[in-house]
């Protein structure tokens, strides 16, 4: 079943403290909210230190969400930092889970590293963010890539959320960033 057709989609974000993984999970949930879906967004509450590996979670559902535990078997895994690629990233992965990673590697190279048969999407979010924002803040770029890889929310909803979150030049830059990430994200064959 395609992700967008699932009644409940569970997303896990992997990032390092300061990269904005929780914010990405919040913005994705807010995009779901724009579509009148039921949502949850929460961080894994570990030590909050810049650079430390952190995880955050988003649930998007057509029905009210009553479950209040962590996500153990994610449908979609988002990796904001390729140095995090390791066993934790694959924890609870299912046959039909998808993985989207910020990397300069090709999907096939990531698959070789993972040694796991799952759909892999890659986007060079760091390069895009450096080019457009001038800083390696990749969480908004990942949102554009998520839309292309999963279609669980629309680009229009992501645009709305970006417009509410940022103002002025930063808003325009982030809108450009999500669009270009959407266009350049690629999948393995």
State yes or no: residue 38 binds another protein (CB under 8 A). yes
What is the C-alpha to C-alpha distance for residues 128 and 71, in angstroms, rounded to an integer? 30
Of 11-19, 23-31, 109-117, 149-157, the window that binds another protein (rule: CB under 8 A) is 23-31
State yes or no: residue 30 binds another protein (CB under 8 A). yes
State yes or no: residue 103 binds another protein (CB under 8 A). no
Are 25 and 57 a contacting pair, CB within 8 Å?
Answer: yes
Sequential DSSP letters for 62-117: SS-----S--SS-SEEEES-GGG-SGGGGTT--TT-EEEEE-SS-HHHHHHHHTS-
Are 57 and 44 a contacting pair, CB within 8 Å?
Answer: yes
Bridge pairing between strands 76-79 and 8-16: parallel
The site that binds another protein (CB under 8 A) totals a number of residues, namely 20
Nearer to another protein, 26 or 147 (CB): 26
Nearer to another protein, 68 or 169 (CB): 68
Strands (E), 27-118: 38-43, 53-61, 76-79, 98-102
- In the shown chain, the binding pattern of residues 40 to 69 toward another protein, with x for contact by CB under 8 A and - for none, equals xxxx-x------------------xxxxxx
User: Exactly one of 1, 2, 7, 36 binds another protein (CB under 8 A); which one?
Assistant: 36
Nearer to another protein, 37 or 148 (CB): 37
Nearer to another protein, 16 or 34 (CB): 34
Question: Applying CB under 8 A, which residues contact another protein?
Answer: 26, 29-30, 33, 36, 38-43, 45, 64-70, 72
């Amino acid at each position: 079943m395609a992700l967008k057709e699932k009644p409940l989609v569970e997303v896990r974000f992997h990032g390092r403290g300061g990269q904005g993984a929780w914010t990405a999970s919040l913005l994705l949930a807010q995009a779901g909210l724009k579509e009148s879906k039921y949502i949850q967004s929460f961080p894994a509450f570990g030590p909050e230190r810049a650079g430390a590996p952190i995880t955050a979670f988003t649930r998007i559902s057509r029905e009210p969400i009553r479950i209040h535990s962590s996500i153990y078997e994610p449908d979609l895994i988002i990796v904001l930092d390729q140095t995090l690629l390791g066993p934790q990233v694959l924890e609870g992965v299912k046959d039909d889970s998808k993985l989207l990673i910020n990397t300069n590697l090709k999907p096939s190279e990531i698959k070789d590293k993972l040694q796991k048969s799952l759909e892999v999407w890659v986007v060079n979010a760091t390069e895009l963010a450096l080019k457009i924002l001038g800083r390696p803040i990749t969480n908004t770029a990942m949102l554009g890539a998520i839309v292309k890889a999963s279609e669980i929310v629309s680009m229009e909803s992501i645009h709305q959320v970006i417009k509410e979150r940022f103002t002025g030049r930063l808003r325009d830059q982030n809108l450009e960033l999500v669009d270009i990430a959407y266009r350049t994200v690629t999948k393995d064959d």
